Amino acid sequence: MLTLIVPGLIWTRQALADLTYDLPLPAFTTLLGRGRLRRRPPQTGTAALAEILGLATPLPAAALRRFALHDHPGDADWLCLDPVRLSIQQYSLIVDDPQQLKLTDEESSALADSLAPVLAGLGHLEVISAQAWNLKLTAPAPAFHPLPEATGRAAALLPLDAAYTPWRHAINEAQMLLHVHPVNSAREAAGQAVVNSLWPWGGGRLPDSSDCISAHDLLWSDDPVAQGIARLQQFDCVPLPAAFAAAGARRPLAVYEALEQPARVGDALVWRDELARFEADWLLPAVNALRSGRLDALRLLAPGDSASAELQVSRGDLWKFWRKPCALSELAPA
C-alpha cells in the first residue's frame, strides 16, 4: 500500500471549483469517484504524519531533526531556533518561507557564531544545517508556534507571560545584532533576502522508540523531522522521488509538500502548476500500478487548516466503472 500525505490540497469548495475547472485531472477524479472519501477534522501535515506513525504531538522537531542530520540528541531538551526573514506587508510582519533565504554554510556559521553569546543564557546554539539551527536548552522552554505553520502568515508577538520574558529579550537583542551584521550587509548589497530574526519552535526530548507504531517500512520525505522519525523507528527514509514508482513488497509513506506553501499564501497559479505535476508524476503512475497489480491500495490524506479529508482506493475499486469521476471540489466540506 502507498500512503500519501498531501497538505495544501483543500481550499474552499468554490475555490477548488474555480481553480481546477479547466485542469485535466483524469487520475485524481477517477480515484475520487471510485474510492471511499472520509471527512476528517482540521489537521496539520505534521500531525497527520505523527498520527500514522504513532507519535504524540506536538513533535519534538529539534531533537528529531538533530537525530536525522547529526547524531543522537541524548536526554537533553532541544529547541529549533531557525534564522528567518520577517517582511512588512501592509500592517503585519509576515514570516517568509525560510527556504527562500538560501543561506550558505559559511553565512550560517558566521551568523550563529555572533548570536551564540546572546543566547548563552538559554542554551547552546548548534548549526544543524544552513537553515536549521538548534538550541540545547539549559531549562525547558515554553511552547512556541511551529515555524511550518507560521510560514506565509502574520507573525504573532510572544505572550506576555513571565516564562517568555527571557525569550523576548534574547530575540530582540538578536534582531539588533542581525540588523548590522556583515553577512546581512553583504546579502543586501547583492540583492538577497536578509536574516532579521530567529524563530523558536519544536522543543522537547527525543521520544522513546518503543512508543512508535507503524504499518510502513519506507518513508519518502525531504523533511528532516520526518527523517528523524524514520531513523527513530528504524526503517528506511529517502528523499521524495520525482515521481511514483511501485516499491515492490515495501509499504511506502510519502510526504508531498509542494502544494502547501502556494496554498498557504494563496498563490493560485503556482498551486495549479504543482497540482498538474502531482497528477502526472504521482497519481497517474499510482492508478496504473493499481490496475496492473503492482500496488494493492492507495491512501491519500489531505490535511488542512479548516478541514481534512482521507481517500482510500483499493485495486478492486477501480473496476467499479459505474461510479463516475468526481470533481476535486468534493474534497472540501460542503
Q: Which domain covers residue 249, as residue numbers? A: 2-56+208-331
Q: Which amino acid is at 141?
A: A
Cell of 206: 527525543
Q: Are residues 83 and 99 in the same domain?
A: yes
Q: Which amino acid is at 148?
A: P
pLDDT of residue 212: 58
Distance of CA 331 to the CA centre of its chain: 20
CA dist 252 to 30, 58, 223, Å? Answer: 22, 23, 15
- 132-159: pLDDT as tens digits: 999 999 998 999 999 999 998 899 889 9
Q: What is the mean pLDDT of the segment spanning 229-246?
A: 90
Residues 233 and 299 in one domain: yes
Q: How many domains does the chain divide into?
A: 2
**Of all residues in the chain, what percent are helix, strand and coil, respectively (each to 5)?**
40, 20, 40
What is the model's pLDDT at position 249? 73
Q: How far apart are CA 15 and CA 332, in angstroms?
A: 9
User: What per-residue confidence (pLDDT) applies to 248?
Assistant: 77
Distance, in Å, from the CA atom of 34 to the CA atom of 317, rounded to the nearest integer, reads: 6
Whether residue 227 sits in one domain with residue 116: no
Domain end, chosen from 181, 204, 227, is at 204
Whether residues 121 and 10 fall in one domain: no
Burial 269-299 (b: 16+ CB within 10 A, else e): eebbebbeebbebbbbbbbebbeeeebeebb
- Separation of alpha carbons 305 and 183, rounded Å: 36
Contacts for 22 with CB less than 8 Å, ≥ 6 apart: none
- Express each pLDDT in 161-197 by its tens digit: 999 999 999 999 999 999 999 999 999 999 999 999 9
Residue that is last in its domain, among 188, 204, 220: 204
**Which residues touch 321 (CB under 8 Å, ≥6 apart)?**
none
pLDDT of residue 92: 86
Read off the pLDDT band of 120 (50, 70, 90): very high
Report for 52-61, 85-94, 122-131, 247-256: range of highest mean pLDDT: 122-131
Domain finish residue from 182, 204, 226: 204
pTM: 0.91
Does residue 247 or residue 225 have the better pLDDT?
Answer: 225
Mean per-residue pLDDT of the chain? 93
Per-residue pLDDT band at 283 (split at 50, 70, 90)? very high
Q: What is the CATH number of the domain that holds 48?
A: 3.40.720.10
pLDDT band at 235 (very low <50, low <70, confident <90, very high): confident
